[in-house]
A and B are shown apart, each in its own frame.
Chain A
Amino acid sequence: ADFQLDLYNYFIKS
């Protein structure tokens, strides 16, 4: 199935 990246995790890690 398609999985969508969690933006919260993406930006908080950045």
Chain B
Amino acid sequence: MLEARLSQSMVLKKVVDAIKDLVQDCNFDCNDSGIALQAMDNSHVALVSMLLKAESFEPYRCDRNIALGVNLVSLTKVLRALQNDDLVTLKADDAPDSLNITFESSTADRISEYDLKLMDIDQEHLGIPDTEYAATVTMPSTEFKRICTDLQAMSESVTIEATKDGIKFSCAGDIGNGAVTLRNYQNVEKEHLNVDIELTEPVSLTFSLKYLVNFCKAQPLSDRVKICLSNEVPLLVEYLITGTSYLRFYLAPKVRD
């Protein structure tokens, strides 16, 4: 059976909020190392990959592999009841029909208990290869969100170009063109503002802004975001959750016929 108690319960709500507009039904795959999720949007353009490691929970117990087939719209309805400092506990049997979700107030004077019906979801697990990316950019997640949102007002697509001079986000739309360039930036006192660009070779790729803006719904999870690019390879956008738990998005580049 599964029993997992999360003191940073808002993490769960933020993860679900970040992915529910991209994927609707998905399996939360539980095993002794933690809870993982992998789901692709209907158009096969974006892939979500999440791992909440066992050490993010206290206690965490899962004796065998359990797949929790969850409708995220339904889970969102349950998570509405979650309050800021609540502890959340997930419980399920080995072959579960439902997921038991408990919210406890930090003062332990209120316990809310929900059973969420589960579904059978036939999802193929895809192998995501370890990739040596040509460019890796770590930057403030709010900055990335602002750039994507601002450029989306002008165009459907953005070209991301990483060179030794920096990383350039540019778009061309009906009303004109726009571009934002970021350079390496180190702030010793406010490290969360740093822009770190690691480059082995120049990269230029074009992506749909609709999807990037969607990924930015994960911004509340972390003040930093990592963007990894290689020519002709899906873009990786990563938000670290707690410790080494993560939420990753992969996005197919646009290629000219």
Nearest to B254 among chain A residues (CB) is: A2
Q: Contact between B44 and A7 (Cβ–Cβ < 8 Å)?
A: yes
Q: Does B126 contact A (CB under 8 A)?
A: yes
Q: How far is the CB of A10 from chain B (nearest CB, A)?
A: 6
A4 to B45, CA, bound (A): 7
Question: A10-B234, A11-B47 known; A4 and B127 CB under 8 Å?
Answer: no
Interface residues of B in 51-72 (CB under 8 A from A): none
Q: Which of A1, A5, A12, A14 contacts B252 (CB 8 A)?
A: A5
Interface check B46, CB cutoff 8 A? yes
Counting chain B CB atoms within 10 Å of each CB, the highest count among A7, A9, A12 belongs to A7
Contact with A along B94-128 (1 / 0, CB 8 A): 00000000000000000000000000000010111
> B214: CB under 8 A from chain A?
no
Q: Which residues of A contact B253 (CB under 8 A)?
A: 4-5
| Inter-chain contacts of A6 with B (CB < 8 A) | 44-45, 252
Closest to B252 in A: A5
Contact A8 B40 (CB under 8 A): yes
Q: Does B257 contact A (CB under 8 A)?
A: yes
Tell me if B250 is interfacial: C-beta within 8 Å of chain A.
yes
Q: Is the CB of B127 within 8 A of A11?
A: yes
Q: A4-B208, A8-B40 are in contact. Are A14 and B255 (CB under 8 A)?
A: no
**Once the chains bind, are A2 and B206 in contact (CB under 8 Å)?**
yes
Chain A interface size, as a band, is: 10 to 19
Contact string against A for B residues 237-257, beta-carbon threshold 8 Å, 1 for contact and 0 otherwise: 000000000000010111111
Q: Which residue of A is nearest B124, CB measured? A: A12
B133 CB to closest chain A CB (Å) equals: 15
Which residue on A lies nearest to B127, using beta carbons?
A14
Cβ of B255 and Cβ of A5 under 8 Å apart? yes
A10 with B127: CB separation less than 8 A = no
* Closest Cβ neighbor of B46 among chain A residues: A7
Which chain A positions have C-beta within 8 A of B176? none
| CB neighbours of A2 from chain B (8 A) | 157, 206, 254-257
Given A10-B234, A11-B128, check contact A4 B252 (CB 8 Å): yes
Docked Cα-Cα span, A6 to B44, in Å, equals: 5
* CA gap between A8 and B45 in the complex, in Å: 8
A sample of 6 inter-chain contacts (CB < 8 A) reads: A4-B43, A4-B45, A7-B234, A8-B44, A10-B234, A11-B126
Query: 7 closest A-B pairs (Cβ-Cβ)?
Result: A11-B126, A5-B252, A2-B254, A14-B129, A8-B44, A6-B44, A4-B252
